[in-house]
Structure 1
Amino acid sequence: MAQLGFDFGVEPTPLLKVTPARLGLYDDCPRRYRMTYLDRPTPVRTGPWAHNTLGAVVHNALRELFTLPPAARTPERAGALVGKHWRSAGFADAVQIARYSEAARRWVADYASDHDVTGEPVGLERWVSATVGSDPARPALIVEGRIDRIDSREGELVIVDYKTGRARPGEADARRSRALALYAVAAARTFRTPCSRVELHHLPTATVASAEHTEADLRDQVSAAEETAATARELTDRLTEGGDPDALFPARPARRCAWCELRPSCPEGQEAVPAARPWDLLVPTA
């Protein structure tokens, strides 16, 4: 007997799996996207950057702080965790290392002093994954990513993202961040709990920049993500079919070429701006 079933002669469109970082990389520079995710063997990169090292140290210290019992989350313990996780890759010399290790210790200790750190986060460095789409009936994306911290406040989730860079963020930065918006959507789906508030916690200036997203905001961000993902997928398919890699994924020279980790493999970036030193993007210290 023939098996009964439904066949409408239409192949379902496969869901596109994306991360906010991957989408952002394509928007910034298609060439960098290609070299990061598609080119094999992997192109030559720069060495480590001090600002990335510093950010990782602070993130690791704060993550471990929230794994401790609430009574142990003191400013002194928080500062000590910076020493535990300290790394020196990318810094200029011992003097700079000492200055920034002390600055990071002070930032994290002050954070534990100025914020209520006794609550239990819903997630720490939590990986979330959710099927989303601008049309709920026909989702197009699987959005994934790792969130620094997810809080629960008054029955809703809050996305917390730590920052240690040179720029002091404002409400507009929190609101227009596609990554934070997509994390909010993914967290809400993962935990089946409303999530509309996103926050950037800038430790060097003790700034908390926050935004409350509306459903319309989040739909717009998801729609923009769908467009970027579809474009990147189409171009990747054309590349696989033998298309010109440089024509399909052109460079977008800008100031960021100075510190792009793929600069050694990108003549356009080298010509655009002089190379930055590995410590040039560190936030100034007092």
Structure 2
Amino acid sequence: MTGADAEEPTQGSAPGVSRQAALPGMPTPLYPASPSRLLAWLDCPRRYRMQYLDRPRPQARPQRAHTSVGITTHNVLRDFWDLPPGRRTPDGVAELVRSSWIDVGFRDPEQSAAWRLRVRDAVVDYLRGADRERQPVGIERSVALRTESIAVTGRVDRLDDRDGELVVVDYKTGRQVPTEEDARTSLPLALYAAGAARTFRRECVRVELHHVPSGTQVAHVHTAESISSKIDEAESIATDLRRVDAEFADLGVESPSFPPRPSPLCTWCDFRAHCAEGQRMGPEKSDWAGLEDRSDVGAEPGWARGE
């Protein structure tokens, strides 16, 4: 769950694929899912179909610059904790940024170089507030959650031990600064906490969003009831996905269950070239548009991490 979600098996992945009938009396198999898969369905059923079900998968557009920036930032924050404590310095961060830099999607070499320095400075400033001697419990740690109907897997950006309790830390690199409400309502964060608690058999109720560009950190402390409510939400979405996945296996792209959900985000969609409705939402954003200063930030991904 991402940080970057672990890839789960796809059910009904191609039209004409027969589904093995369950034997009488056998329980229904658990639906394998990730937070990204669940949220993709809520964002746009057509994009969900193209991303998870269509085979061959439609070709996605080339990676944009903001995705390169986001992936680099996450990779540096992952590899930082592998450094010996004596090398967890600004110079150590600068070397990680240099060696991890993804030079894809930028307008020109000058823009790429400027953003490499910008990422270096942002990560150095963010890590100034970290206890560099205390090793996290997990970095991009896989966790799993099983209920009577779903099996959710994913990777948490960072798991901390705070006074004997586990804390989920999720890095954010977009220009929109997250709020406490974002932490409270996030389905992925709640599933991460539930998965970490069950994986480690330890209490995990605090979830945090760390916005690297600004250094802002917001948190929410879940209750057993709020975690249970989020698990119920995931199970409800998975019930819909089990149905539409099976329908796709029978009908393929002729299935009526995958309509587009046009919005301003269509101008950023990786599968826009395959969706006429999305193309009508406006011209496609440039490869580097996510790095530019604009007033309509709410309609843009910023430097979000690509999946």
> Do they fold alike, i.e. is TM over 0.5?
yes
Residue 254 (structure 2) pairs with residue 263 (structure 1) = no
User: For structure 2, which runs of at least 5 residues remain unmatched after alignment?
Assistant: 1-23, 294-301, 303-307
Q: Which moved more, 1:202-211 or 1:115-124?
A: 115-124
Within the candidate set 27, 34, 41, 1:12 is matched to 27
The residue that corresponds to 2:3 in the other structure is none
Distance 1:243 1:93, change over 3 A: closer
Shift of 1:116: 1.9
The residue that corresponds to 1:100 in the other structure is 115
The residue that corresponds to 2:64 in the other structure is 49
Within the candidate set 161, 164, 170, 2:170 is matched to 161
Could you say which structure has the larger radius of gyration? 1
Shift of 1:274: 2.0
Higher RCO structure (Cα 8 Å, ≥6 apart): 2
User: Whole-Å Cα distance in 2 between the matches of residues 35 and 105 of structure 1?
Assistant: 35
User: Whole-Å Cα distance in 2 between the matches of residues 131 and 280 of structure 1?
Assistant: 40
Counterpart code for 2:190: A
Shift of 1:246: 5.3
**RMSD of the alignment, in Å?**
1.6
Shift of 1:172: 0.7
User: Whole-Å Cα distance in 2 between the matches of residues 251 and 53 of structure 1?
Assistant: 27
**Is the 8 Å Cα contact of residues 160 and 199 (structure 1) preserved in structure 2?**
yes
Within the candidate set 120, 129, 150, 2:135 is matched to 120
The residue that corresponds to 2:194 in the other structure is 185
Deviations 1:106-157 (A, max 9, x none): 011112222222211111111112213xxxxxx2111100111111111111
The residue that corresponds to 1:82 in the other structure is 97
**Is the 8 Å Cα contact of residues 76 and 109 (structure 1) preserved in structure 2?**
no
Within the candidate set 193, 211, 222, 1:213 is matched to 222
Counterpart code for 2:277: E
User: Whole-Å Cα distance in 2 between the matches of residues 108 and 100 of structure 1?
Assistant: 12
Within the candidate set 48, 55, 64, 1:40 is matched to 55
**Is the 8 Å Cα contact of residues 80 and 105 (structure 1) preserved in structure 2?**
no
**Is the 8 Å Cα contact of residues 145 and 191 (structure 2) preserved in structure 1?**
no
Number of matched pairs: 271
**Is the 8 Å Cα contact of residues 78 and 112 (structure 1) preserved in structure 2?**
no
User: Whole-Å Cα distance in 1 between the matches of residues 36 and 251 of structure 2?
Assistant: 26
User: Whole-Å Cα distance in 2 between the matches of residues 244 and 47 of structure 1?
Assistant: 24
Distance 1:244 1:81, change over 3 A: closer
Within the candidate set 5, 11, 24, 2:39 is matched to 24
The residue that corresponds to 2:289 in the other structure is 280
Q: What are the equivalent positions in structure 2 for 1:234-273 lying under 5 Å apart? A: 234-242=243-251, 245=254, 247-273=256-282
Shift of 1:67: 1.1
**Is the 8 Å Cα contact of residues 122 and 213 (structure 2) preserved in structure 1?**
yes
User: Whole-Å Cα distance in 2 between the matches of residues 196 and 83 of structure 1?
Assistant: 36
